Structure 1
Amino acid sequence: MMTGVLCGLLAGALWGLVFVAPRSLPAFTPWELSVGRYVCYGLIALVFLGPGLGRTLGRIDRHDLAAMVRQALAGNIVYYVLLAYGVQWAGIAPTSLIIGLLPLVVTLMGRRDHGAVPLHALRWPLLVVGLGMVCINVDVLTHADASAAAQGLGPRMLGIACAVGALLCWSWYTVDNARYLKQHAKFTGGQWSALYGLSSGVMALLIGGVGLALFGSRITGEAGAASGRDWTMFWLVNAGLALGASMVGNQLWNIASRRVPVTLSGQLIIFETLFALLYGFVHGQQWPRPLEVAAMVLLVAGVAWAVRQHHPPESPHP
């Protein structure tokens, strides 16, 4: 159990790096960042599988292939695109508020799985986590800019719909991935992460190819150069994300998914939020505000409490 919790924590630490990348590459669109990251992920996965690629691919059946495709789409490409559009059209604050419901949604979706603790036993840890998310989002709302509000009601409603779609995509992926790994043990966490990366890479290549065919001059022509695009930095950042956040992070998460109930894995996703906040403070060279400190304390306390509920201390022998 505790090994799974530790792996979930480390996965969150690597996933938190994803939030720094858009700030480092402001000249590139979310579509381009997504394609670049997942193309690199596919190449790294190909190297990881190496000489055993043929044997590994030979063990894939139609159920594995269907799982790889649906999880790569829901957990990677579609999720990230919907999240990016939510931020662009509705603003950071509403999108963060909606995505912040992720741990609660995952816990509710996995409440009937084997090993899940009854919801009434988790009501207080969930309340503490919920209070932490409220603190984060109140702080975001308080310090949000009003640029998105000027776009009008229509785009904002579309942005909110995209944010809800992103929340549902990632929640569904988390539950589906955990269930599939528990039911199919023929692949290790590393192998499944690599296969998941290959499928993401293939789809990213297809999307990138369509984008180049339709908008090639805007991406690589004079218009692209005038926007200040640094392609060397683009590939370096995305390769780093592909190796750390995607390849290693997903492998750690697969290990955690096999070792903890789905109701607990939903709480472990909180670590991604915590590390994203930490990296944001370092990148922005600023100290956290009082509400941010309160949120971090509440989130850590809620996760620790949820772990305790899943792994109670043994009674002493008489």
Structure 2
Amino acid sequence: MTGGMSRRTALAAMTLAGAGWGAVFVAPELAPLAPALLLAMGRFVAFGAVSLPQARAVLRADVPWGRVVAHAVTGSLLYYALVALSVRLAGPTIAVATIGLVPVVMALLSNRRGTAGVWALLPALALVGVGQVLVHLTPVPGPGGWSAVVGTVLALVAVASWSWYGIDSHRLIAARPDLGPVLAGAQGLAAGVLALPVAIWLVATQGVPAEPVRALLVVLFLGLVSSWLAVRAWHAAAARLSPVLVSQLMALETAWGFVFAALLAGSVPGPVALLGEVALVAGVALAVVTDGHRERREARAYSAGEVGQPGGHADVERQESPHDHIARHGAPGSSASTARATRSAASLMRDERGSSAEECATASSSAHTSNPA
């Protein structure tokens, strides 16, 4: 997967990533006798293991390890630890509903061009928000009291943790498209190294879980599909789509989790939850359509010459008035003007060649991507 994929392929990749992450919500039910924390740590150890074949390519690349380790912590270990604690302290309804704020928070934080992008997506944001509320409206008994308060605070920290990861990983892959083939492997190796000591400690103190083969199969599935494949799909799609749209597509994680939970339970959810699922998916679809309109408007403006290049100001030099030109370069016909004109022409030719080369090098990876946050 590369940053030069088409928009349709990028949307499919993000849908795949959402499905992989949505499976995390039901995976513990497939191995109910294994501790949830051990499954989580085992998942990231497996993530590192399936990333080992890429180790040589990762080590040869100029990987910013500080940021990659931070991504492994905030997007993997810390995030899922906070989610697990929040579910235990506040109950699944409050915890998951709070985590559902991630698309809204990312949309607000990733819009550096002003509020226009968020205002355009406001109807989609509203549908996603209503969908999240309706999906989790049916209460599931929770501890209540101060335990619920602490659990809610931890869920909010989890929202901040994953939002920073999502935004910064998008920024990194947009600025360094050459890392696309190895970034998922690098994150997997970092997560595996960090999770391995914790997993060993859990097994040493709690023993091997009951039904170890079942637990191992779940861990391998989570490591391969919910981590390695989902992260690769996320990075590839993030290099092609705008950060505000990427934030809305994160709601697909909840949507897929809802579907998987219904399949596992073998029953159809109530009408309110179904309405919430429809609103959530409709909000994501509306966000895709709205962002598509924005891309087409920008493409038409670029083709018509209204902008010099996406996000640039190449037309400013062409708008210089004759008076300003004479003031800066001298009157036509003067020797100073002739010398300056010769130097300017040579410089302009170099600039144009450099600009064309730069546009060709970056068009396939980030012409449609703005740096978030």
TM-score by length of 1: 0.86
Whose RCO is larger (CA < 8 A, sep 6+)? 1
Match of 2:25 in 1: 19
* Displacement of 1:27: 2.3
* Displacement of 1:210: 4.0
Q: Distance in 2 between matches of 1:217 and 1:201?
A: 20
Q: Is the 8 A contact 2:100 2:132 kept in 1?
A: yes
Match of 2:254 in 1: 273
Mapping for residues 37-76 of structure 1, pairs under 5 Å: 37-47=43-53, 49=54, 53-61=55-63, 64-76=64-76
Mapping for residues 31-110 of structure 1, pairs under 5 Å: 31-47=37-53, 49=54, 53-61=55-63, 64-110=64-110
Question: Are 1:194 and 2:182 matched, yes or no?
Answer: no
Q: Is the 8 A contact 1:117 1:310 kept in 2?
A: no
Q: Distance in 1 between matches of 2:116 and 2:257?
A: 28
Q: Is the 8 A contact 2:137 2:273 kept in 1?
A: no
Partner deviation per Cα, 1:265-289 (whole Å, 9 max, x = no partner): 0111111111111111110000121
* Displacement of 1:26: 2.1
* Change beyond 3 A, Cα 1:217–1:170: closer
Q: State which drifts further: 248-257 or 154-163.
A: 154-163
Query: Aligned letter for 1:13?
Result: A
Q: Distance in 1 between matches of 2:278 and 2:237?
A: 23
Unaligned runs of 5+ in 2: 1-6, 301-373
Match of 2:365 in 1: none
Query: Aligned letter for 1:177?
Result: S
Mapping for residues 246-261 of structure 1, pairs under 5 Å: 246-261=227-242
* Displacement of 1:55: 4.3
Question: Are 1:28 and 2:9 matched, yes or no?
Answer: no
Instruction: Choose 1 or 2 for highest CA Rg.
Output: 2
Unaligned runs of 5+ in 1: none
* Displacement of 1:119: 1.4
Identity percentage over the alignment?
29
* Change beyond 3 A, Cα 1:31–1:113: farther
Coordinate RMSD, CA, aligned: 2.0
Q: Distance in 2 between matches of 1:85 and 1:6?
A: 32
Secondary structure of the equivalent of 1:71? helix
Q: Distance in 1 between matches of 2:196 and 2:225?
A: 20
Match of 1:231 in 2: 212
Q: Is the 8 A contact 2:111 2:117 kept in 1?
A: yes
Q: Is the 8 A contact 1:30 1:81 kept in 2?
A: no
Aligned residues: 291
Q: Distance in 1 between matches of 2:205 and 2:14?
A: 42
Partner deviation per Cα, 1:102-130 (whole Å, 9 max, x = no partner): 1101101101169x962111111111111
TM-score by length of 2: 0.74
Match of 1:167 in 2: 159
Question: Are 1:298 and 2:294 matched, yes or no?
Answer: no
* Displacement of 1:3: 2.2
